[in-house]
Structure formats: structure tokens, C-alpha cells
Structure 1
Amino acid sequence: MSSNSVIVRRTAVAAPALMFGYGVLRFLDGRDGDRGNGPAWDAGHVAFFAAMVLFGVLAVALRPIAPAWARRTGTVAATLALAGVGCFLWVIAGDLSEGFREAAPLPEALRTGGAALFPLGMLMLLGLLVAARRAPVWSPLLFGAGIAAITVNLDLLPIASLVILAALAPLARRDDAADRRDDAHARGGDVAGRGGDVAGRGGRHAARRYENNAPVREVSREAVRAHFKAAI
């Protein structure tokens, strides 16, 4: 299995970092007791929008890392995460644009449970990575704790974002063990290929020696028969 891709490593850091930025800007926007319709509000929601886009990219990039025996489950998990991301983006776009919110309100069914599909899908993906030994057991636990903190109180968003960042931190590191396995496998294939070339060259050399020696043996037999007839 190959090392974590560049996309996985970068989005695992950038997505929670942007969410942290949204939490800080949301806190700054609410210092006057009124949230909304301000530069901090708009900038924070843009950061949140970008964070959710990157979470969606991360979910798609994690699916191929799932164990081979759980590829279908990985596909389902990534699909759930993307559906939840879509609901989040819909709500954020409505917060940024009143016209969009009035023209395309989020259906009530998606408003109540659609966003929950994102953490559900991500927890499934992280669980599959734990099964594949590509993430520690505490990674999905920390991720779930961060999501729970946001659910309890949005004011905990900065702290929850740092918890989620810690949960995804193992994905931001190169999987050196996997790289060593891949390098060893590649070296083994090269050695086997070189061995086959050597064997092939040896076989061709032996064939040429046989062909070169065959006439000599034939001449030698003719000489023996001629010598025998002369002796008779």
C-alpha cells in the first residue's frame, strides 16, 4: 500500500486549520453581542466554506486507502461524507447570501439530518484506516469528540477545530513504513527481473556452446569410423 498522498497530507491540516479560523472570526464578530453582517462574519464563513470543500476532497482521497476487503464500505463512507459536506455548503452559502437562502432554502429533512452525514462518513473512513493500520485507534475517537463539542456549543468551535486537527494529524505524516514496503517490493521485482535476464543469457550462452561443439563431435565420430574401417 502506498504512502499517504500529498492531497491527504495537505487537506488533513488545511481543512481543520480553516475551520479554526472560522471559529476565531466568529468569536471576534460576536464580541459586540451581534453576529452577522460584518467583515469578520463574511470572512469567517468564507473560511468555513473552504474548510468544508477541503474536507470533501479529503474524504474522496481517503477512500482508496481503505483496505481492499472494504472498498465498497469506503465508497459508501466517502459518499455519506460528501453528502454531508454538500448540506454544509448549502447552509453556508445561505448565510453569506440572503438571496440564495430565499431562492433555494435547504429542505427541512436535510436541515435536520443532512449535515450529520459528514461526520458519520468521516468516522467510517477513519475506522477503516484504523483497520488497515494506517491511523491510530484514537484518531476517530478524537474526531468524534471534536464534532460532539461543536454540536454542544458553537462557541467551542476553535477548541473543537484543534481537536479535529489532532485527530487528522497522523494522516498529515508520510507513511514511512509503507514507503519502505513499497521500496522493498520494487527492489525485489528488480532483482527478480535481473535474475531472469541472467538466466536467459546463461541459457543462450549454453545453446551457442552446444551448437559450436556439435560439428566437432560429428567430425570426431566420422574420424573414428574411418579409422576403424582402415584398421579392418
Structure 2
Amino acid sequence: MPSNSATVRHVALDAPLLLLAYGLLHLVDGLDGAYGPGLAQNLSYLAFLAAMVLFGVFAAAVRPLVPPGARTVAAIAATVTLAGTACFLWAIAGDLTGAFPDATPVRIAGLLLLALGMLTLLGLLVAARRTPAWSPLLFGAGIAAIIINVGYLPLGALIILAALAPLARPAPSRVVPAARRAPTGMEVKRLERVASK
């Protein structure tokens, strides 16, 4: 089994950690009873933007890890994930520039597309024995926490981090048994005595 690429290993940690940073900064931004404008809001959007970009990178990077017969499904799932991240990037750009008055439908579409694509990819990775069966279940639970209440975003990010953590480790390589050592002279004589009996 080939090792997970360095890209997959890093992005599996970095994307949910940036999502966690976004959630925490969002909470800090709302401590005064209102959200933005200000430094906390701008930093939260930058963390969210980076997280979405990395989820897109993750979707593209894990495609080679799925079984060969499922590469078409993986390509479709990666495209759906990228469409979800594009929706989020468009919504973030609108929030930062004020160009789009209400990006809520785009955010909802982005969340659904991202969840559908990522869950499919994780399911394929379970089939390839690259992740445990609980990985997509945890990812779905993390998304559900975010859908229930945006205030649960840090919790959802931690759950997603746990879901992707198995991919942050290199895949175990098969151990090739070491060559058997040559028998010593005493062992050869003992074998010869046993054979002669």
C-alpha cells in the first residue's frame, strides 16, 4: 500500500485547524454583541478562505488513493467538493467586498456540496482501507454540528479534524522479512547429526 502523500497528510490537519480558527475568531468577533467590521472578522474570513482552498486541494489530492475501479466516482466527488468550495469562496468575497447583499443560499449550497463530495471521497477511502469506517461518520457529525448552529463551528471543526486525522499519518508500509542468517558451524554439525540418524 503506497504512503499518503505529503499534501494529503498536511491538508488533512491544516484544513480543519483553519476551520477551527475561523470558528474561534467568529466567536471572538461576536463578543461585543455585533459581528464586524474589524480585525477579528477579517482574520476569520481569511482563515475560512484558506480552509476552503485546502479542502479543495484535499479533494484533488486523495483521488489517486481510491481503488482504480472507483476513479470516475472519485473524480465526480472531487468536482462536487470543488464546487462547494467555490460557493464558499464566492460568498466570502461577497462578505469582504459587500458586493452581494445576501449570500446565504450560496453558503447553504456550498455546505451541501462540500459535505456530499467529502463524504463520498471518505467512503471511497474506507473501501480502499485508507481510513477507518468511522471517518466519514465523524465528518458527517462535524458538518451536522455546524448546520445545527454556527456557534458549534469550533466543535464541528474538532470533529472534522478527528475524522481526517487518520489521513495525516503515512500509510503503513509492508514489512519485508529480513533475509535469514546463515547457520553457524555448530548449527550445521548439529543438523548433520540429526539428518544422519
Same fold, TM exceeding 0.5? Answer: yes
Q: Name 1:140's counterpart in structure 2.
A: 136
Q: Tell me the residue number matched to 1:68.
A: 68
Structure 1 residue aligned with 2:148: 152
Q: How many residues align?
A: 177
Which of 158, 174, 188 aligns to 1:180? It is: 174
Paired position in structure 2 for 1:189: none
Gaps of 5+ in 1: 185-232
Q: Verify: 1:2 aligned to 2:18, yes or no.
A: no
The structural deviation recorded for 1:115 is 3.4
**Is 1:36 paired with 2:32?**
no
Query: In the alignment, what sits opposite 1:77?
Result: 77
- Which protein shows a greater Rg? 1
Which residue identity is paired with 2:8?
V
Q: Find the aligned partners of 1:111 and 1:54 in 2 and give their Cα distance.
A: 17
Structure 2 length-normalised TM: 0.85
Question: Aligned ranges for residues 110-125 of structure 1 at < 5 Å?
Answer: 110=106, 112-125=108-121
What percentage of residue pairs aligned between the two structures are identical?
A: 56
What amino acid maps onto 1:101 in structure 2? F
Matched, 1:90 2:90: yes
For 2:62 and 2:79, the matched residues in 1 are separated by 12
Structure with greater contact order relative to length (CA < 8 Å, sep ≥ 6): 2
Counterpart CA distance in 1 for 2:128 and 2:107 is: 34
The TM-score with structure 1 as length reference comes to 0.72
Cα pair 2:14 2:54 within 8 Å, conserved: yes
Contact 2:87 2:109 in 1 (8 A): no
CA deviation vs aligned residue, 1:146-168 (integer Å, no higher than 9, x gap): 00000010000111100000000
Residue 20 in structure 1 maps to residue 20 in structure 2 = yes
- Pairing of 1:195-210 with structure 2 (within 5 A): none
Q: Distance in 2 between matches of 1:130 and 1:112?
A: 27
Equivalent-residue separation in structure 2 for 1:151 and 1:48 (angstroms): 16
In structure 2, the CA distance between the partners of 1:163 and 1:67, relative to structure 1 (3 Å rule), is same
Name the structure where helix makes up a greater proportion of residues.
Answer: 1
Aligned with residue 171 of structure 1, among 167, 173, 177:
167
Secondary structure of the residue that 2:100 maps to in structure 1?
helix
Gap regions ≥5 residues in structure 2: 177-197
The runs of at least 4 consecutive aligned structure 1 residues that moved more than 6 Å come to none
